[in-house]
Amino acid sequence: MSLRPDQPEVFGDFADGKTAVSHRAGLSLEPAGAPDRLRISLPAGKTLIWPLEDLRRLPDQAGRDLLALSLAGDPVSRLYVADTQVRAVISKTCRNLKRRPPMENRGRLLTWAAGAVASVALIIFVLVPLMANQLAEYLPPEGEKALGDATFEQIRVALNETGFDPVKICDSPTGVAALDQMQSRLNPYADLPYPIQVHVLDHDMVNAFALPGGHIILFRGLIDAAQAPEEVAAVFAHEIGHVVGRDPTRDALRSAGSIGVLGLLFGDFAGGTVVLFLANQLINASYSQQAEADADTYAHGLMSTAELSPAALGTMFQRLKDEYGDAEGIVAHFASHPQLAARIEASMQAAQGFTETRPVLDAGQWRALQEICGREVREQKPSPPAIPGTNKK
């Protein structure tokens, strides 16, 4: 079938977009030999000519049993065709049916889009950190502790690859007693508005991090990788430095604020993805170089006061850098970070002239700490996914 004047007239329904009434319209393609336009014959002798190249099909408007057409440049007029054969002829003859209309005010839209992106970037990278820093100064100790308590359990769940139970907290009585002895020797309480709560998680990650409210988490992998208890104490002291500086609180508030903004934009606000991402952010907190330097300096002083050599922090960094310097991922990043060498050097300089030292744990206590997770000391140490105590830049 073809829409030609010499054949029976076919019909469609035309709506001008100005009134709520549609009109029955006769349809024909002209001229008969090589049609390039559609004649729409309306009641009262009114006729419209729509060039075929300007016909556009409206997507997702009429379903499968109706063809809805518009005319390029006319935003309101519509032609509806129900006859199957007529629809097939129009679809075959009009090559531009699926062409999208040109974007109007493209420059203005691009300007608005760029402004929106810049606004989000300003909020995430400037306003959120600024507000987090200010809020951390005024957040009461009770609020910090509540934030740390809630986050700790989320992190235990996030670290368990099976997804069933939280990662175990190591609680061997003799191991806990050895850890308490180390904490008492460091004696950081004068600098803190809340007591330190140290936990060892049964995970082979060579890492340690701090949470708001005085939580410090050491991983079994960190203890396995240490060659002496003083190295564990040095990393412990470094994390205490972050707690004193309230770095975990600032980072938690900054991460939560950024995730909240992104959640409002892309969905899943306060959903499971937000929780897991926040937990990951706190485990791999990216503090500033100044915060790292301040935590190192605090650790050097705390170790010296406890009659422990500040060099223990540098020796552990250096050994792991030498051992895992060619590894991929996070280890390689931190091992090659230009500031790491400076931090090792600062640790060694802090130990110059230091002569008074005594072991932080005796041999029995050290072995008890190594077996705090209820396992015998292993000969081979796990490959670490992070440099201990330096899970930040």
- pLDDT tens across the length of the chain (393 residues): 446 555 557 888 999 888 888 899 998 888 877 888 888 999 888 999 999 888 888 875 555 678 888 888 888 899 988 888 778 888 888 888 877 766 566 677 788 778 877 776 676 666 666 676 666 677 777 888 888 888 888 888 888 776 668 899 999 999 999 999 999 999 876 677 788 899 999 998 888 989 988 899 999 999 998 999 999 999 999 999 999 888 888 877 776 666 655 555 555 544 444 454 555 454 445 567 778 888 999 999 999 999 999 999 988 888 877 776 544 434 433 444 446 778 888 899 998 877 767 899 999 999 999 999 987 655 444 444 343 334 433
CB atoms within 10 A of CB 163: 7
In the chain, domain spans: 10-93, 140-370
Alpha helices of 212-324 — where are they, by DSSP H? Answer: 220-225, 229-244, 247-266, 272-283, 289-305, 311-324
Number of CB atoms found within 10 A of residue 33's CB: 6
Put simply, whether the predicted model's pTM sits higher than 0.75 gets the answer: no
Tell me how far apart the alpha carbons of residues 59 and 381 are, in angstroms, rounded to a whole number: 62
pLDDT of residue 334: 43
Question: CATH assignment of 10-93, given 2.60.40, 2.30.29, 2.20.28, 1.20.120?
Answer: 2.30.29
* SS3 category, 214: coil
Torsion from C-alpha of 197, 198, 203, 206, nearest 10 degrees: 130
Distance of CA 251 to the CA centre of its chain: 13
Q: What is the pLDDT of residue 263?
A: 58
Please report where in the chains the tokens 């850890």 appear, as a residue. 179
Cβ neighbours of 100 (radius 10 Å): 7
Contact between residue 190 and residue 172 where contact means Cβ atoms under 8 Å apart: no
| Token pair listed for 37 | 């336009």
Please answer whether residues 25 and 79 qualify as being in contact, where contact means their C-beta atoms are separated by less than 8 angstroms. yes
